[in-house]
Structure 1
Amino acid sequence: MKPSLHRVLADEGFRLFFPLAALHAALWPLLWVALWSFDLPFARQIPPGIWHANEMIFGAWGAALLGFLTTAAPEWTDTPRLRGRPLWVLAGLWGLARIAWLLGADALILPATAAELAWLVLLLAYFLKVSLEQRSTRLLSFAGWLFALTLAGLMARMAMLAGQAEPAAEWLRIAGLVFLGLLSLALARITVPVTNIVLDPSESTSPFRPHPGRLNLSAGLVALALIGQVAGLSPAVAGFLWIAAGAAFMDRMAEGFVGPEAFRAEIMV
């Protein structure tokens, strides 16, 4: 018997959330233009640009994050994957916040905040639960960045509730930069096994072994730059910290030059 679409989508995190991320990124701006002609008529205190930034970070990127982490965490810890109702609950909470943005009504900021924080906290709780049950520290770094993303989202929404556009924009910018930390951790976890499979499809050896101190260098420097940003360092000092973080990302990319195999699609992507 052919399984239903509902069952297929909820069989694994990426099957549900990656299509949601793509649909949101493609359709929501189109609906915004079609319905409101680049304006948000129900928004009073908060400029439309801040609503847009919030949706890019917690909407499209948020769905991609949900899909990746709910799929990767079971693989990294050899635990049963989330499927069925837990995934639909996360998708429902994520979707409720998206409806509030589409309307752009200041009165909906509070319920949207509750829904947004709910899926972030549930995802964080899932990572901590698996870590405790498996007595593993493999997910704790991601849990730390998820906590930072939750905190930045909370601060941005509190500023929006207070009608303070500038603090809201700054905290959303910080939330976007937190995604750099999450990206660097994801790259550190993904590129090593992928490169080893490319170099040795038999998986009998591990010819690619990056220096342990460089594995999480980019995440560490992003964290340092973020701390400087929140602490209010001068633009010059903060700029140098972000240049250093960028150099660490370039270092991660340079590790992809492993001979002719560097031109394989798996590594180039």
Structure 2
Amino acid sequence: MAMSEVENARARPFAIWTIGFRPFFLMAGVWSAVALAGWIAMIAMGLTLPSRFDPLTWHIHEMLFGFVLAVIAGFLLTAIPNWTGRAPISGLPLAALALLWLAGRVTCLVSTSIPLGLAAAVDLAFPFVLCGVVAREIIVGRNWRNMVMPVPLAVLGVADLLMYLELAGFSVPAGLGWRLALTAIIVLISVVGGRIVPSFTRNWLVKKNAPRLPPEHGHIDSLALVTLHAGMIGWAIFPEIWPFGWLLLLGAALNLWRLGRWRGMAARAEPLLTVLHTGYLWVIVGAALLGVSMLTDHVPQAAAIHALTAGAIGTMTLGVMTRVSLGHTGRALTSDRITALIYLLVILAAIARVAAWDSGSSAMLIEVSAALWIGSFGLFALRYGPILVAPRVQPVDVQPGK
């Protein structure tokens, strides 16, 4: 760049609206910490919200359709220009999408003050509009390989609708909405993770002249995905039909073999890579625990759910958000101590929450897990917030695949 960073900042005062990851990752980090803090406060102090959802359902809804959906939006709106060669969604259209997401959070929070239909319509607008935007960009860019990407967004919109229909008293199977949403998110993580984790690891190992590299995607990888996805979809729709538990266990085993081929131990010196391998390992642990919970009474379903949410989703989202934030703002793709601490806190939060199935210490572990989670995402907002709102810096030793 010809101009200095200060001159660049003056010329681009609204850098946050230049590409999707900037506003959505910042909102995701802040809302993840704030929403969980609010839920813990409701439990500890008996507080209530002016929401039509009860506290637990509101917590589930806002983690899935607030926090996670914001991360997905930021990732897709940033990745699609790379896939299609088109200019990113920016400026007023991007600001309108962010405002639509924010409107959903507000209406869900104060839904007792407005008609339920209006609250649902405002909240549902974001996933369906985002789905339309993503589909349009992929179609216009003729990027047929990624034409499947709008599908999880459409499923998330339908899942959100099911939660509102259940709230309104319609004959909807209990919990179908959030189970379907969690399934769509895990499917997306397994597909995208299967692309980026071995790819980033391979590029880093090449720079280190490593003798062995992660192999290309093969038939066993496809079988691992199909099995995992079938098990998750089966559980979401038919949670009481036990054969899906065996399918989940098989999917977990195949994906464990898949993860082992990605050479994660060889890249353990770089936390930006280690966190992605760890996040995918949580997918495997969660699927295995979910399978066992469907087959026996020895593992509660809550432990499996939180391995998939606090573990897989929490770890993978922070891994992706930190990496994208660094790489796409012209910074070196290497973690500092604060970033490593962010990863450590979220991993410990997941371990504590999964371990809370022991009734003798569950309350304490839930509080510890919440504190660690809030600390991790709060630290992300503090450390990466200034990066997300500032203009791109002069590239310094940028290594996109590291």
TM-score (norm 1): 0.83
Q: How far 1:141 moved relative to its partner?
A: 2.0
Q: How far 1:31 moved relative to its partner?
A: 4.3
Paired positions, count: 265
Q: Secondary structure at the match of 2:14?
A: helix
- 2:150 corresponds to: 143
Distance 1:255 1:108 in 2: 52
* Aligned partner (choices 176, 187, 192) of residue 181 of structure 1: 187
Q: Secondary structure at the match of 1:124?
A: helix
Counterpart code for 1:114: A
Distance 1:187 1:70 in 2: 17
Corresponding position: 1:15 with 2:38: no
Q: How far 1:100 moved relative to its partner?
A: 2.4
* Aligned partner (choices 198, 210, 215) of residue 216 of structure 2: 210
CA contact (8 A) 1:192 1:208 kept: yes
- 2:273 corresponds to: 267
Corresponding position: 1:84 with 2:70: no
Corresponding position: 1:40 with 2:48: yes
Corresponding position: 1:238 with 2:252: no
CA RMSD of aligned residues (A): 3.1
* Aligned partner (choices 151, 160, 170) of residue 176 of structure 2: 170
Deviates more, 1:79-88 or 1:134-143: 134-143
Q: How far 1:117 moved relative to its partner?
A: 2.3
- 2:160 corresponds to: 153
Q: How far 1:136 moved relative to its partner?
A: 2.3
1:34-53 superposed Cα distances (whole Å, 9 cap, x missing partner): 68944435456x43211111
1:65-98 superposed Cα distances (whole Å, 9 cap, x missing partner): 1111111111122221111112211111111111
Q: Secondary structure at the match of 1:235?
A: coil
Q: How far 1:5 moved relative to its partner?
A: 8.2
Corresponding position: 1:25 with 2:24: no
Distance 1:47 1:167 in 2: 17
Q: How far 1:6 moved relative to its partner?
A: 6.3
Distance 2:262 2:248 in 1: 22
Cα separation, partners in 2 of 1:3 and 1:197, compared to 1, 3 Å: farther
Counterpart code for 1:189: R
Q: How far 1:18 moved relative to its partner?
A: 0.8
* Aligned partner (choices 102, 106, 109) of residue 102 of structure 1: 109
1:116-144 superposed Cα distances (whole Å, 9 cap, x missing partner): 32221222112221232232222222222
* Aligned partner (choices 63, 72, 94) of residue 65 of structure 1: 72
* Aligned partner (choices 60, 63, 71) of residue 53 of structure 1: 60
Give the fraction of aligned pairs with identical amino acids, expressed as a percent: 25
Cα separation, partners in 2 of 1:233 and 1:177, compared to 1, 3 Å: closer
CA contact (8 A) 2:183 2:236 kept: no
Return 5+ residue gaps in structure 1 as ranges: none
- 2:263 corresponds to: 257
Distance 1:201 1:253 in 2: 21
TM-score (norm 2): 0.58
CA contact (8 A) 1:13 1:66 kept: yes
Q: Secondary structure at the match of 2:215?
A: coil
Counterpart code for 1:212: G
Q: How far 1:22 moved relative to its partner?
A: 0.9
Distance 1:43 1:130 in 2: 35
CA contact (8 A) 1:181 1:223 kept: yes
Structural mapping, 1:114-125, within 5 Å: 114-125=121-132
Return 5+ residue gaps in structure 2 as ranges: 1-6, 276-402
- 1:200 corresponds to: 206
CA contact (8 A) 1:28 1:102 kept: no
Q: Secondary structure at the match of 1:200?
A: helix
